[in-house]
Amino acid sequence: MKLKKQYPYLKWFKLLCVALLVAAIVYVPVFYRYFAHGVIYSGAGDGFKQMMPFQMFLYDRMSNLSSYYDIALGLGGDYLTDLSYYYTTSPIMYANFLCIKLFETFGHIDPSTINFWPANQMIVAYFKCVLTFLVTYGMFKMFDLKNPYRFLGAMLYSTSTIFYYFNFTWSFFGDILLFLPLSIWGMERFFKTRKIGLFIIAIALTLFSNFYFSYYETLTLGGYLIYRMIFTHPDDIVTRWKKLWLLIPAVLSSFCLASFGFLTGVRSFLNNDRKLSDYEIAPFIDFTPKYHIFSNGFYFTITFIALVALFSFKLYRHYYYRLFAVFTWILLVGALTPYFDSLFNGFSYPQRRWGYLLVLSTSVLMALWLKHLTELTWRDYLISLLPLIPLAIATVILSSGRMWWMVVSGLILAIAAFYIYHQKNLSKKMIHLIVGLFIIQQFVLLLNYHTNNMLKHETDMSTLHAPKYHSHILQQVIDEITERQSPLERIDYMSTYAINSNMIYHFNGVALYSSIFDGSILDYYDNLMQINMEFDSNSTYRLLGNRANMYALWGVSDRIKKGDDPSIPYGMIREKQIKESDRTWSHSRNTIHYPAAHLTSKVYTPSDLKSPLDREHAMLQGVVIDGKKGNTAFKTNPDLLKTATITPRNAKQTGNKLKVTKNLGGLDISMPRNEHYKDYYLEMDVELLSPNQRHYLKVDDFHQRRTGLTYKYKRFVTPVTVRVPANEPMQLKLKKGIYRVSIKHIYGEDYSTLKKAAQEVTPVKVTKTRQSFRIDMKPTKKSYLVLPIPYRDGLKAEVDGKERPVLKANGIQTAIPINKGEQTAIVHYALPYWRIYLVMTVFGLISAFVYRWWLRRKI
């Protein structure tokens, strides 16, 4: 005791050491696999395709204090807003980036390459586990628990399989396991001491970090508050209804403090366009192994001791035991229906991401169970063991895989049985032994969980250097290209495995894979320009449909494709073959030097443009602005459909229904001989009716992969426009099945408009800085400066030092009105509403301190 008085921080140091050791239970095997075998603690799917590339991209921009608007985010956009679902508003990510910057400045690390980020994933996850233990340990103080029970509950939660799963699959999701116990700790602390500060901090962190997490916490904490209002605790000094009335101002203060992050996230969600195909939700889960919570579940696995604790009804007389037993019952019943999963996914497609709630409630329950174990009679204990009988039968029949952790769980129950049967109190040594067995159980459980569920989804460092992900040779070629490119020029390259290839290789691209981004881009792709994206799925837009006109509009100077590239657009010439191991790429260069950033005085009326080809021609020659009448007449492209001869091939057609009897059957489309047309644009409606299968849409060398009819992320778009060379005949090729097929329009393209426009529009010089674009120009008349970057609210322009409006033009591009003789335009980006966010944050900070002071007075 005297030592503690002399060294008041000694207990905190010891607690930190304990937390570091607890995190080692989870991550020592992870570090071993990485250093011994190169195994990466990140999913081979989204981990490689999104998590690590996003972090590398964001660190580069944020550490260099670059503008929030960046054209390397797919076609371009506000990465702070669009990636707020992932990392951009995460306080943990900010701390991580700060540490990286310090090590980069004073050490020898290189975060500019993808090689750096696997190790970072592990280290961040390890320290998140440490923080989660410390916060949960603090929360348990409010439940009248002392060590070793307090340690046990915090250890069970922070070493849970769902912690491993979240940080492995979507590392940003691991943050929510920290915020939930912090929020409950703050709420309980307020109820018993009237101290509100921790609650305000916890809610502010949650709201700021992720709007999606905020929804989860609203449901959870709302339910928790209702229970605590109905059933008050003897130690509560805040009365029943005051719990509600006094927490509302605290939540409002937190909301204001978190406004920058939360409202940015909400804006990203509202801007998004994530339409889902029609789907049905089954009333009950199918009880496949992924749902086996107490044996070998994919989403999470919990020791069956939680069931024993849940059925120890005698212990419900203890307030917190009853509270968390009720929540456990609600969650377990909810687990039986996908509607519960849908509820926690915003009433959208069912996703089982609420499992951390059950893990926390059962962790509290098991810690309290051990504390009150000897209060049970032998009869009480036998009753609590009853649910293990059907569980054991179901496990034998339905579950598979390694479940050696059950041996340790069984040993814990056997020791408990011995002491309960003999009505002996547990000695301090025996309690510590049981806690030690719980530690061993969690360690073995994580090893089994990894082997059974995660092993198939992980990969090693060889994948990081594989040609399909990041080729050293291809990187050299891309570096050579980017050195000669202007700031707004792009490369059309995307690996089908690593869709965000432009982030990995560091170039301006034409593809993005992200759950959330600006929905106007999808409207541009799907409706305005009908760009067929080669894969009918949500969460992505990709490439430009192999259309030369689109290449010109978006400044694509080079194209790199796997193999021989049979769908090369007009105007591209093959420069060389690139080879690494068994993979080759074709590199082509654009010979039509159309200046994507340019001045034009021609304005076209949107309603005069009847087809995607019309819009391409108008945008090449001038500018199209919604709501603005044009100053130039437009001649529409003739529809050649009536001149076409369309006949089934290995198929039978009745009206718009086409029954394809052999794979690659479909339609032959013959056109009258015309030597002027280089390509045809086919606008068509094609939809598989049956059977439910993965399929494809091919037109000559064009190939689109299509998902099955019930694929949860399917994004069906109709009509679509496909650019194909003017061959005779053109062939629509489909997989065997029954389809709805209608060829709606056919247009011919000779590219004379593209060539003419390349000579007529006036090029400008673009220079990029960290915060802006500088455009030097010499307009000879009143014009529009057209930039090949997506328009976003927040883009600002100054022309010769004076503010000038920025317009949305050519569908989603950016245009600025320019007068004769003006020389310089500066375009920069300011986050919309940032002044409001700043005022709200300052107000939230002041109100939090004032409210905290006011509450300390007697109310």
The b/e string for 454-493 (b: 16+ C-beta within 10 A; e otherwise) is: beebbbeeebbebbebbbeebeebbeebbeebbbbbbbbb
Give residue 727's pLDDT. 85
Tens digit of each residue's pLDDT (9 = 90 or more) over 799-849: 999 999 999 999 999 999 999 999 999 999 999 999 999 999 999 999 999
Classify residue 627 by burial, with Cβ atoms within 10 Å: 0-12, 13-18, 19+.
exposed
Distance CA 849, CA 859 (A): 17
DSSP 8-class letter at 284: S
Cβ partners under 8 Å of residue 286, min gap 6: none
pLDDT band at 4 (very low <50, low <70, confident <90, very high): low
Provide the mean pLDDT of the chain: 94
Residue with tokens 């089982």: 352
pLDDT at 529: 97
> Which two structure tokens, joined as six digits, stand for 421?
């049967």
Q: How confident is the model at residue 1 (pLDDT cuts 50, 70, 90)?
A: very low
Mean pLDDT of 524-530: 96
pLDDT higher than threshold 50 for residue 440: yes
Residues 280-324 have pLDDT tens digits of 888 999 889 899 999 999 999 999 999 999 999 999 999 999 999
Cis, bond preceding 638 (omega within 30 deg of 0): no
* Residue given tokens 């996230």 in the structure block: 265
Q: Residue 679 pLDDT > 50, yes or no?
A: yes
Question: Which residue do the tokens 């003739």 mark?
Answer: 638
Domain ranges within the chain, ordered by starting residue: 20-274+284-457, 472-595, 597-631+764-859, 641-752
Q: Which residues contact 452 (CB under 8 A, 6 or more apart)?
A: 296, 401, 402
- Nearest partner of 829 among 786, 792, 777, judged by Cα: 792
Residue 8 has pLDDT above 90, yes or no: no
The pLDDT tens digits for 451-492 are 999 999 999 999 999 999 999 999 999 999 999 999 999 999
Residue 6: what pLDDT? Answer: 61
pLDDT value of residue 857? 78
Spatial distance between the Cα atoms of 542 and 160, rounded to a whole number of angstroms: 37
CATH of domain 641-752: 2.60.120
Task: Of 329-333, 656-660, 710-714, give the lowest mean pLDDT range.
Answer: 710-714
Predicted confidence (pLDDT) per residue in 740-754, tens digit: 999 999 999 999 999
pLDDT in tens, 204-239: 999 999 988 899 999 999 999 999 999 999 999 999
Quote the tokens at residue 304.
């069956």
Give the mean pLDDT of 566-582.
94
HSE-up (13 A, CA, CB side) for residue 348:
12
Share of the chain above pLDDT 70, in %: 99
Q: Which residue type sits at 293? A: I
Q: What is the mean pLDDT of residues 637-642?
A: 96
**Residue 858 confidence (pLDDT) above 90:** no
Q: How many CB atoms lie within 10 A of CB 641?
A: 16
Site of tokens 């309603």: 607
Encode pLDDT of 48-63 as tens digits: 999 999 999 999 999 9
SS (H, E, C) 492-537: ECCCCCCCCHHHHHCCCCCEEECCCCCHHHHHHHHHHCCECCCECE
How would you classify residue 581: left for phi > 0, otherwise alpha for psi between -120 and 50, otherwise beta? left
Per-position DSSP letters for 832-854, written without gaps between them: TTHHHHHHHHHHHHHHHHHHHHH
Residue 677 binned pLDDT confidence (cut-offs 50, 70, 90): very high
Q: For residue 433, what pLDDT is reported?
A: 96
The whole-number pLDDT of residue 691 equals 95
